[in-house]
Structures are given as C-alpha cells and as structure tokens.
Chains A and B, each alone.
Chain A
Amino acid sequence: MLGGILDDLLTSPSTGPCITATRHFPARPPVLVPLPSSLDPRIGEALRARGMGELYSHQARAWELIEKGHHVVVVTPTASGKTLCYNLPALQALVHQPDARVLYLFPTKALAQDQLAELEALARQLPEMRMFTYDGDTPQDARRAVRARANLVLTNPDMLHSGILPHHTKWATLFQNLRYVVIDELHAYRGVFGSHLANVLRRLRRICRHYGSAPQFIMASATIANPGELARRLTGEPVEEITESGAPTGDKVFVCYNPPVVNRELGIRAPYLGEAAKLAIRFLREKIATIIFAQSRLATEVLLTAIKSGVADKTGDSGIVRGYRGGYLPTRRRAVEKGLREGEVLGVVSTNALELGVDIGHLDVAVLAGYPGGIASLWQQAGRAGRRSGRSAALLVATSAPLDQFMVTHPEYLFGTPPEHARVNPNNPFILVNHLKCAAFELPIGDDERFGELDVRRFLGALEDEGVLHHAGLRWHWAAETYPADHVSLRTVTTDNFVVIDTTARDEKQTKRRQIIAEVDWGSAFATIYPKAIYLVESEPFEVQELHFREDEEKVAYVKRVNVDYFTDAISAKGVWIVQRLADQSHPAYVAEQGEVLVAEKVVGFKKIKMGTLENVGSGEVELPQQEMQTTAAWLTIPPETLARVSQSREEVIDGLRAVTYLLHHLAPIFLLCDIRDLGSWLGDTTPVTSGAVATRESAKRRLMDAEQFNPTVYLYDSHAGGIGLAEHLFEILPDLLRSGLATLEACACPAGCPSCVGPVNEVGRRAKSTARSLLRALTD
C-alpha cells in the first residue's frame, strides 16, 4: 500500500517532476551479543521474560564502559534501545547495593513518566526497587516520602535546580550515595537551556563533592555532530562516545519534494503547506499512520485544518487526525499520545514537540512540512516514521525559503552533511552569574574554589558589591533574604506563562468556571495572543479579547470562540544598536565587526490572512510593550565609496542591501551548522548607543532614506540573550558567506528575486536582485 503510493508519486506527471531526490535506506539486521556475564541473573531473567535474551551491540558496549567506570554518551537512532543502556547499570547498582542512589534527568515531566512506566515493567520482579518521579506535579505531602524512600529519582533539570539542590540537606542520603546520573535526550540541552544545564551540573558536582560522592554520568542523545563534546562541556568530565548502533532498522525511503512553480515570472511555488497536506491526506485515506511536522505553532494549526477536512471528505471522521504542540494542556497531549500508541489516532500534526522521545508507538510515514532548520532535527523528525521491520517513508516538502530550496536541490548536501553541532556556552556571563548565586546559596564558595574549570573570583567580588554575597573566613556566603533559584529560569521564559481562558461558555451559560484551553510562554505571547489575534487550538479559531501582561497581574489572555475563515500574523518593529565593539577587520570594500548589540522588538500590528488561499484580507494595530535583549552579533558596514560604485540611488541601495541581508541570514546556518532561528538579522545603520526607537520594515527604510549620514549596516545576531558563540564564528566566516551568497544568487534562475534567493520580488523591489548582485560582487572583490 505504502509502496504503491510512493511509486505513483514518483511516476505521475503531476507529482513526479516535484520530486528532486530520493534516497533508499535498506533494512539492516540486528547485531546481537549475549547478555554480559556480570549482569545480575535476576535482571537477566527479567530481560528474558520480556523477550530480550540478547543485547544489541551498543547496549553491551555501554555496559562494558560503564562497568569500567567511564562516563558514557550513547548516540544511536530513534527506537534503538538507548534506554536499556542506562537502565541496566542503574538496576544492577540498586539490586547489589540497596543504599545506592540513581538520579534520572529528562527535559520534560512527560518523558519522566514514560520512563518510570518502562522501568517499572522491567523491574517488577526485582528487590529493593523504589522508583519515583519528583517534579512540579509531585504533591507536597508526598515529597517527604519520596525523599526518604526513593533510591531511583526521575526528575528534570528545572526541579533539580530550584527544588533539590537548594535543599540538598534534605537529600543528604541521595547525595552521599549517588552512583549514577542519567541524562536522556542530551541533544535537547543546546543553546540557552544547555548552558543553564551545564551550570546546574557544576552545582550538582559541588554538592556531591561536599557529601563525598562522585557519580558516573550516563547520557543518551539523538544524532548530533558533537555528542562527546557536548557531553564533556555539560558534565565537565571526560566522556566515552558510543555511536555504532546494533539495532535493526526496516527499509526506508527518503523523498525530497519541491512544490511546483505556479508563477514563473515571480518565482512563486505552490504553497508548501497545501502540498504537504495533500500528501498527508493521501496516506491517511489509505489508513497509513502518518506524522506531519510543521515548523511553527501557526503552521501546525493551518495544516491540521486542511488535513482534517481532507480526511473527513473520504472517511467522514476527522477525529483520527489530531494536533500536538507545546501550548496544549498536558491532558490533551497525553490523550493524543495514548491515541497514537493504541492506534485510535492515525495521524498527528505536530511541532518539534514530538521530536523528543515521547512514546507514541511506531508510524509509517513522516511528512516534514518545511526543512526543520537543522540536519539533526531533520533526521529526528524523519526517524519518527519507521519500524524495526517493514517499510517506511519520510518526505521533506520544501518551502520557498533559500535554505529549503538549497536543501532539496542539493541532495548530496542534505544526505552528506553531518548533523549540527550542539553549542552551549556555560560561561555566558548572565547565565553564569545567576548560577553562582545559586551555588553560593547552596554551599559557601571557597576562595580557591573553581566553578567547573572556571576562576570566578572577579564575579564573586562583583556579587559582594551588589550586596548578595558576603566574604568571611575564606569563603563567599549567600547574604540576602531571597531564594536565588526562584529568579532563574532554565528555559529563559518558563516562569511567566500566559494561560489562555475561553470565555465563550461563561458568557453563554453564566458558568464561573475558568476554561483554560492553552498556555503560551512569555517569549511568544506578544506575537501570538495580542488583542484581536486569532488563536487556533486544534484548528478551532478563538479571538483574543483581552491580554493581561502587567507585572502585578496574572498573565492571562481571554478568548472567545469565533467563526472566521482567516488567521492573523503579527507585524513587528525592530531595532539593533551597537553596545560594544570587540573585534574588527577591514576588507577592501567593507568593514566587518563583531561585538555586543541591543536588539529591541515590538509587535505593532497584524495581518489577517485567509485560510486556504492565504491571501491578505485585512489588518489591525496593537499596543504592546517593547522587548529588549542584549546579545552578540557580527555586522558589516559598507562605506559610501563602495555604495557609489553600485548605484547612485539610495533607495536602490537600501533594497539591494535588504536582499543581501535576507540571503546572508538564510545561508548562514549552513556554515554555522545551527538552526535558522538561532540567528536574527536586520538592516540598520551604525548609530550611537542612545537611540532606541524600533521601526517596521517600511519606517526603517524611510529612516535610512532620510538619514543625514548614510552608513547602512547589515547585522546578523545571535538570537539568545548574551549569545551562545555564533557571532564570533560568523565574524570569521563572513568572507565565505558573502561568496556563497553571490554563488546562490547567480545560480537562481528567477529574473528579479524570489523567496529562494533574495526574497520575493514584490517585497524587496524590482531592482533588488541586480543591485544585490552588484553589491556582492563589490564585497567579494
């Protein structure tokens, strides 16, 4: 059935030409080895009872290295039995030493629940197993019992950070006897979250030292370029890598699908969401279990609407397709997961929320609506389809963005490039200083003590000057009334979630019960739940009536069910200002600099976009506060002489530079091996620090047009506050980036700019592509 549809896609005249590449991954048999002789026979028995009389080679290798006392990271594909790599040593330790303690860390509470269930099934017949989750959902009165009884605790980094480490005396037995720290989904800890985790682990290791233990770290990761390096940076210890999987895989096909060009003049392709929906509907109508990955919350809802109606036309039942994303309430998500495992739900449209190892059973097809921004994510998402035997398929449907177009037209790059590096910067000063405060709260910091490998004395001095630390007797003590962990959120913005409350029923039925339908984090609230916005939950439209965001009030959006055929897209204004220059380099035609910038953003209005046709059907204004962050950036400033060689018209130059900015931003991830969302870009000018008014695209252009001194500057900045090290790298590769920008532009067949090179012609201007070409030639001379 699956094969038939795939053959038809490849050969039919309507879809065949859209397929730019296919790659066949043949089935691979398992590499099995006997259970290790040192494994406790009771555990061996439990394994055999579950049909596992042998281990895959990577599981045995992990056992061997862990037994020798190494820290280990296991990097093998989805569904290759990674969890057994850490469950076996953990169970062995608990069976042999009833006093031993094991700590499991998962990035989400749901994963901890999943794993507890799996462990309990495996350990049912074993003695001395006292396994509990300990997280925000653990009732207050049960916490004491968990602390006293548990010898295996499953929790998350946030709870370790704010609930366990600052109360380590209550966990003294755990820290005295901590044998293993298990960190699953290691690849999730990159960027800001990873930089935080590295510091939480520095704190954990300090506390363990205080109690005289030195736990071994066992980690598991999806495929990334640098699992060993990431593991070493996070734990501060030498780590052994295991990358050879011994698990079997079924036969699999990967297909690149580029939507057909519908307007050659404008270089416009058929909307990728519509194409992705059509493909998914074909599979679902044949009862083939399919997961559809969308790249944003909004895209998830738009796709879900289309697929539900497409499936209902044929089967009369749209309930077999569900949505899944971060903002949904946990109960809704649990229901979808269960439905997928049990086969009641056949299809799911998800954001990258389902990239993590949440147990949803096995699916046959993955449709990736848009390149997920990174090679690692690509294989994670594609890996959601696949069984240990039997056929599966993954289809990448390209958007018209340059990065997507590059990928589907350069399959050798797509299939040949190693996945991204997961970057962390544990020494990001904002993050570091916050964790130093927590560390001092937990245990006074000695004068000659290092934090991880870092000498932090000058930070401690600064913190004393700020009045939160006090030096006495060769140690730095916490000397404030506050609880510092409460003021540090590991995921930048989890503390101030907005709840979305549906008031439809309240108005109609006069019920006073609060109908919470979703949660939205602070970071995306202003772009998604501004007043009059259409907020979609499982493709049902709600209109936001009020948004409460003031510091002294509960963060709430009141919404009402409406019947509309459009959704809304926020229009934001932006500004970038240089704060400090850290490095510069003069090139013949431009000056490249690197340093710190202030980025300000503000949502000022929205567009109404019709469902289905995606045409613009109206707009509105909103009044919301400006959000600012300081981060690192690389920028290039082009002197008047160079500009004069390109064009005499200031407007043409601005359009051309906009086009260049677009191109550089979209191509940079290929060089930095990062996600496109890790970067931001802006065409501004080199102005003094004091300016602070944000501007929309149009007003920014006007401002540049009217500027007395015309010093246009292209900024590419790290979108994580404080920076995670991307800007420094960008600064180094800028000449290469410019050259590849020129090559991409010249290779694109469109006459005057399309989304795949410099941006759509109706947005960047008619002459933008040729001006951009001249600019890039001048810059790369």
Chain B
Amino acid sequence: MAAHSLDDLRRVIRRIETRRPKRPAPAPIEEVLGGELVDTGSGPLLVVRREFPLSHQHGRQRLGAALEAPLELLSAMTRAELPLADARRLLFLDAETTGLAGGTGTYAFLVGAAWLEDDRLVLAQHFMRDFDEEPALLAALKPLLERASGVVTFNGSTFDLPLLETRFIMARGRWPAALPHLDLLRPARRVWASCFADCRLATLEREVIGLVRDDDIPGGFIPALYFDYLRSRRAAPLARVLAHNRDDILTLVGLLAWFGGALTTHEALTPAELGGLGRLWEPVDLERAMACYRGALEAGLTGALAQAIRLHLARWEKRFARWDAACSLWEEAARHVGFDPRPWEELAKFHEHRRRDFVTARAVVEDALGLAEAAGAPLRTVDAFTHRLGRLERRATIAAGRPSEPRE
C-alpha cells in the first residue's frame, strides 16, 4: 500500500467511502478474443479454441512428428517418476499467471491445453474473466487432466504444476497426483545448456524451431496486462497474451517433435547438439552417449565445448580402461588453445601410476609447467605441478637403480 502514514491511509479510506469507482459495462470479450462461453457445470468460462492439422509447420517442425517421439525413452532419460506412454493422449499444458511469487495468492488466469483429436491438434485456452470464475476454469481442466495419459510442460515441475495443484487444493478439489509428467526443460538443459546463453523457451524456439515471433509480449508484462483488464474490462490488449500462450504451446509440441527426430536419427543435428544429445543418452545407454560425443568431435566441433566433451569422453574411456582412446583424447585436449591443466594432469598420472614410466611422466609435467608459467596460470596450479615434479624426480632416481615393469 502506498500510504506511508496514518493520515495517508485515512485519506485513501475517505476517498473510497465517498466515491466508489463505477465499473464500466463489460465489453464482449468473447468477440474480442474470438472464443465462446462454455458452461462448465461450475459456471461459465471463456474458451478460445483453435485447431491445427498435424501437417502444420511450426517453424522447422511438423507438429505431427511429436507423435513419433519415443516417450518411454524420454521418460527414462529425464528420470521421470512415472513413465509416459501413448502419445495420442498427451496433454500439452502452459499457464499464464498473476505473478511469479508462488504461494496461494498467485492465480493461473489463463491455462492453455493442447491434445490430439483424430488428425488434428486441438488447442483450447481457458480464461477466467474474473477471480470468481476460477472454479469454472478448474472444472474445465479436470476432465482434460483425467483422460490424459500424461502431461507435457516446459518448466512445469517447478512452476505450472505446483501452482495448479495449489489452485485445486484451494478450491477444495483434488489434483490427479499420479499423472505422468514430462518436463521438457530437463532434457532441453542437457542438450542445449552448453550451446546457448540460456535455456528459455523463447531461446529454444528461435534457435531450434527456427521461429521468430513478431510483436511477442514479454512474459514479465503479462500479470500487469491482466490486472489492467480486471480494472478496465478492455479485452483487446489480452489478445497478445493469448497469442503468446498459444505460441508457447505450439513450441512445446515442436520441441517434443525435435526430440523424436533427434533420438531416432541423428541427421540434421549440429555437432554441438550431437554432443548435447550424448548427455541425454548417458543415463540410459552409455555406449550411445559416447558415440554421440565421438560424432560431435568428428563433425569438427571446436572451442571450449569441444574441450569439455573431449575431457568428459576421456573420463569414461579411462573408467573402461581404454587407455589408448583416453590418452589420445588427453593429448588432443592438451593442445587446446590456452593452457588447460586437466589433460596434462591426467597424462602425468597415467604415466606415473599406470605405466610407472617416471621419465615420461616427468617430461609431461615439465612441459606442463613451462606452458603454465608462460600462460600465467594461477599459483595453485603451478604449485601442484611443481609438487608433482619433485616427487617424480625422486621416484625416477630411485627407479633408475632397478628395472621397472610397466603394469597393465
């Protein structure tokens, strides 16, 4: 409240008591937004319904391709508690809310839901014209949730679903708690975290789906637009909110379609995506993950991302005791532009502990030290190599007295 003092407060109260603002007659919002009022059994609700053929192209993605996504595999990859099945009965869900604060005072005033019906994608947006229509909104969602085989969202596990659950509990309703859920933010993070600056839906839409929205409303403005509508009853500005929500849901379908394509055939993937896909495979099929990493490197990936994948792959090779593969990766990594101590350290350890070839190990550390000092590496790094060198020199001297056997 802006009142800073007792008399401010009193002035505000007096103003209200003398002049209650008249509410303008509601404009026919269903006409403005192109929807219809539906009787939900718990009151009327504005539903804006659109249909898209499965052949519809959303950017570079065909919506129908989402049907071919290997759902069980994706569930396993993202460690979903309940695996999804039956792509034809999925419900794609995205809510627009009165804020990001969470808690019981944040409402979902617009819930977009999409599902397959025959050869079409039906996208229905449920909009409450005022807070007292929340029961109607929840009543409309309930059957959709109940007949769905699972829910697909983007960041739904921390935001949309807990919020909807709160709304259902507030209305003394029951949330179908055992609904399988695929939050596409999880696999998206694994694949693209190291490709793009962030993993927001808008970023993925632009970079992966290849779609640039015009006149999109930034998400941060959405609550204020709804509050404006509540006070003014002018519905026209809300059209942009509905368009935003619609695009978000189509992108959700498009992303699932992308995963379907990427997991079945590796064609049309950039080397960076191929590397990211390796992260996705890791929990379910390590060999395929490693194949992805190798593929990404062979496809000419460079820079910090390539270095990270190289070291990551080398760690697995080391764990499987495939020393030649590991060593060649480390040697490659040691040539990386700018001094990176990690491969040098691995090589030194390999020669010292595995091959017990102290002379080679010493040579590796001497090279590393030279490079580290030249590159102005942190004191701690130089110190660690110096310490290692001292030990290797002692061991090399002792070993010189007796023949050493390389251990395998």
Q: Contact residues of A with B, CB < 8 Å?
A: 166-170, 172, 429-430, 433-434, 437, 440-444, 458-459, 461-468, 470, 472-475, 477-484, 579-580, 596, 598, 630, 722
- Give bound CA distance, A480 to B13, whole Å: 19
- Give bound CA distance, A484 to B107, whole Å: 15
CB distance from B352 to the nearest CB of A (A): 34
Partner of A477, one of B15, B17, B131, B166: B131
Q: Contact residues of B with A, CB < 8 Å?
A: 1-3, 5-7, 9, 12-13, 15-17, 20-21, 98-105, 107, 130-132, 165-166, 169-170, 223-224, 227, 230-231
User: Which of A461, A464, A474 is packed against the most chain B CB atoms within 10 Å?
Assistant: A461
Task: Please indicate the chain A residues that have their CB under 8 angstroms from the CB of B132 in the complex.
Answer: 472-475
- Give bound CA distance, A470 to B109, whole Å: 14
A-B contact sample (14 more), CB < 8 A, given A465-B12, A473-B132: A166-B104, A167-B102, A167-B104, A169-B104, A169-B169, A433-B9, A437-B1, A440-B105, A466-B3, A472-B131, A477-B107, A481-B100, A481-B101, A598-B5
Task: Please indicate the chain B residues that have their CB under 8 angstroms from the CB of A465 in the complex.
Answer: 12, 15-16, 21
CB <8 Å contact, A166 and B7: no
CB <8 Å contact, B9 and A462: yes
CB <8 Å contact, B104 and A441: yes
CB <8 Å contact, A481 and B223: yes
Task: Please indicate the chain A residues that have their CB under 8 angstroms from the CB of B21 in the complex.
Answer: 465
CB <8 Å contact, B99 and A480: yes
Task: Please indicate the chain A residues that have their CB under 8 angstroms from the CB of B15 in the complex.
Answer: 465
**Which single residue of chain A is at the shortest CB-CB distance from B107?**
A477
CB <8 Å contact, B12 and A466: yes
Known: A461-B17, A472-B130. A441 touches B6 (CB 8 A): no
CB-CB nearest 3 A-B residue pairs = A473-B132, A441-B105, A481-B99
Task: Please indicate the chain A residues that have their CB under 8 angstroms from the CB of B130 in the complex.
Answer: 470, 472-473
Task: Please indicate the chain A residues that have their CB under 8 angstroms from the CB of B107 in the complex.
Answer: 477
Task: Please indicate the chain B residues that have their CB under 8 angstroms from the CB of A430 in the complex.
Answer: 6, 9
What would 14 A/B residue contacts be, using CB atoms closer than 8 Å? A169-B165, A169-B169, A429-B6, A440-B105, A443-B170, A462-B16, A465-B15, A465-B16, A466-B12, A468-B1, A473-B130, A482-B99, A483-B105, A579-B7
Partner of A596, one of B1, B7, B105, B131: B7
- Give bound CA distance, A579 to B104, whole Å: 38
Task: Please indicate the chain B residues that have their CB under 8 angstroms from the CB of A462 in the complex.
Answer: 1, 3, 9, 12-13, 16
Partner of B230, one of A458, A479, A722: A479
Task: Please indicate the chain A residues that have their CB under 8 angstroms from the CB of B231 in the complex.
Answer: 467, 470
CB distance from A52 to the nearest CB of B (A): 42
CB distance from A461 to the nearest CB of B (A): 4
CB <8 Å contact, A169 and B170: yes
CB distance from A476 to the nearest CB of B (A): 9
Task: Please indicate the chain B residues that have their CB under 8 angstroms from the CB of A479 in the complex.
Answer: 98, 131, 227, 230
Task: Please indicate the chain B residues that have their CB under 8 angstroms from the CB of A168 in the complex.
Answer: 104
- Give bound CA distance, A25 to B264, whole Å: 88
Task: Please indicate the chain B residues that have their CB under 8 angstroms from the CB of A484 in the complex.
Answer: 105
Known: A479-B230, A481-B99. A166 touches B13 (CB 8 A): no
Main secondary structure of the interface of B (DSSP, over half): helix
Known: A461-B20, A470-B131. A478 touches B9 (CB 8 A): no
Task: Please indicate the chain A residues that have their CB under 8 angstroms from the CB of B9 in the complex.
Answer: 429-430, 433, 462
Known: A475-B131, A479-B227, A481-B98. A441 touches B3 (CB 8 A): no
Task: Please indicate the chain A residues that have their CB under 8 angstroms from the CB of B3 in the complex.
Answer: 433, 462, 466
Task: Please indicate the chain B residues that have their CB under 8 angstroms from the CB of A630 in the complex.
Answer: 5-6
- Give bound CA distance, A458 to B165, whole Å: 33
CB <8 Å contact, A166 and B105: yes
CB distance from A404 to the nearest CB of B (A): 34
CB distance from B9 to the nearest CB of A (A): 6
CB <8 Å contact, A466 and B2: yes
CB <8 Å contact, A167 and B100: no
- Give bound CA distance, A98 to B15, whole Å: 53
Task: Please indicate the chain A residues that have their CB under 8 angstroms from the CB of B6 in the complex.
Answer: 429-430, 579-580, 596, 630, 722
**Which single residue of chain B is at the shortest CB-CB distance from A722?**
B6
**Which single residue of chain B is at the shortest CB-CB distance from A436?**
B1
- Give bound CA distance, A170 to B169, whole Å: 9
CB <8 Å contact, B227 and A482: no
Task: Please indicate the chain A residues that have their CB under 8 angstroms from the CB of B99 in the complex.
Answer: 480-483
CB distance from A456 to the nearest CB of B (A): 11
CB <8 Å contact, A467 and B227: yes
Task: Please indicate the chain B residues that have their CB under 8 angstroms from the CB of A596 in the complex.
Answer: 6-7
- Give bound CA distance, A475 to B131, whole Å: 9
Partner of A458, one of B2, B17, B104, B224: B17
Task: Please indicate the chain A residues that have their CB under 8 angstroms from the CB of B227 in the complex.
Answer: 467, 470, 479-480
CB distance from B20 to the nearest CB of A (A): 7
**Which single residue of chain A is at the shortest CB-CB distance from B168?**
A169
Task: Please indicate the chain B residues that have their CB under 8 angstroms from the CB of A483 in the complex.
Answer: 99, 101-103, 105
- Give bound CA distance, A170 to B102, whole Å: 12
Task: Please indicate the chain B residues that have their CB under 8 angstroms from the CB of A429 in the complex.
Answer: 6, 9
CB <8 Å contact, A470 and B230: yes
- Give bound CA distance, A739 to B107, whole Å: 61
CB <8 Å contact, B13 and A458: yes
CB <8 Å contact, A444 and B103: no
- Give bound CA distance, A464 to B19, whole Å: 13
CB distance from A134 to the nearest CB of B (A): 16
- Give bound CA distance, A580 to B7, whole Å: 8
**Which single residue of chain A is at the shortest CB-CB distance from B8?**
A630
CB distance from A570 to the nearest CB of B (A): 26
**Which single residue of chain B is at the shortest CB-CB distance from A477?**
B131
Task: Please indicate the chain A residues that have their CB under 8 angstroms from the CB of B131 in the complex.
Answer: 444, 470, 472-473, 475, 477, 479
Partner of A482, one of B12, B13, B101, B166: B101
- Give bound CA distance, A466 to B13, whole Å: 10
CB distance from A435 to the nearest CB of B (A): 12
CB distance from A164 to the nearest CB of B (A): 11
**Which single residue of chain B is at the shortest CB-CB distance from A467?**
B227
- Give bound CA distance, A524 to B229, whole Å: 45
CB distance from A210 to the nearest CB of B (A): 9
Partner of A441, one of B7, B103, B224: B103
- Give bound CA distance, A444 to B167, whole Å: 12
Task: Please indicate the chain B residues that have their CB under 8 angstroms from the CB of A472 in the complex.
Answer: 130-132, 230
Task: Please indicate the chain A residues that have their CB under 8 angstroms from the CB of B101 in the complex.
Answer: 481-483
Task: Please indicate the chain B residues that have their CB under 8 angstroms from the CB of A167 in the complex.
Answer: 102-104
CB distance from A484 to the nearest CB of B (A): 7
User: Which of B21, B104, B107 is packed against the most chain A CB atoms within 10 Å?
Assistant: B104
Task: Please indicate the chain A residues that have their CB under 8 angstroms from the CB of B104 in the complex.
Answer: 166-169, 441-443
Partner of B105, one of A442, A461, A463: A442
Task: Please indicate the chain A residues that have their CB under 8 angstroms from the CB of B13 in the complex.
Answer: 458-459, 461-462
CB distance from A95 to the nearest CB of B (A): 29
CB distance from A572 to the nearest CB of B (A): 22
CB distance from A740 to the nearest CB of B (A): 31
- Give bound CA distance, A482 to B98, whole Å: 9
- Give bound CA distance, A630 to B224, whole Å: 32
**Which single residue of chain A is at the shortest CB-CB distance from B128?**
A472
- Give bound CA distance, A483 to B100, whole Å: 9
CB distance from A510 to the nearest CB of B (A): 13
- Give bound CA distance, A579 to B1, whole Å: 20
Task: Please indicate the chain B residues that have their CB under 8 angstroms from the CB of A444 in the complex.
Answer: 131
CB distance from B157 to the nearest CB of A (A): 13
Task: Please indicate the chain B residues that have their CB under 8 angstroms from the CB of A467 in the complex.
Answer: 227, 231
CB <8 Å contact, A166 and B1: no
CB distance from A226 to the nearest CB of B (A): 26
CB distance from B6 to the nearest CB of A (A): 6
- Give bound CA distance, A703 to B201, whole Å: 65
- Give bound CA distance, A433 to B3, whole Å: 10
- Give bound CA distance, A459 to B6, whole Å: 12
Task: Please indicate the chain A residues that have their CB under 8 angstroms from the CB of B103 in the complex.
Answer: 166-167, 441, 483
Task: Please indicate the chain A residues that have their CB under 8 angstroms from the CB of B17 in the complex.
Answer: 458, 461
Task: Please indicate the chain A residues that have their CB under 8 angstroms from the CB of B1 in the complex.
Answer: 433-434, 437, 462-463, 466, 468
- Give bound CA distance, A468 to B224, whole Å: 11
Task: Please indicate the chain B residues that have their CB under 8 angstroms from the CB of A722 in the complex.
Answer: 6
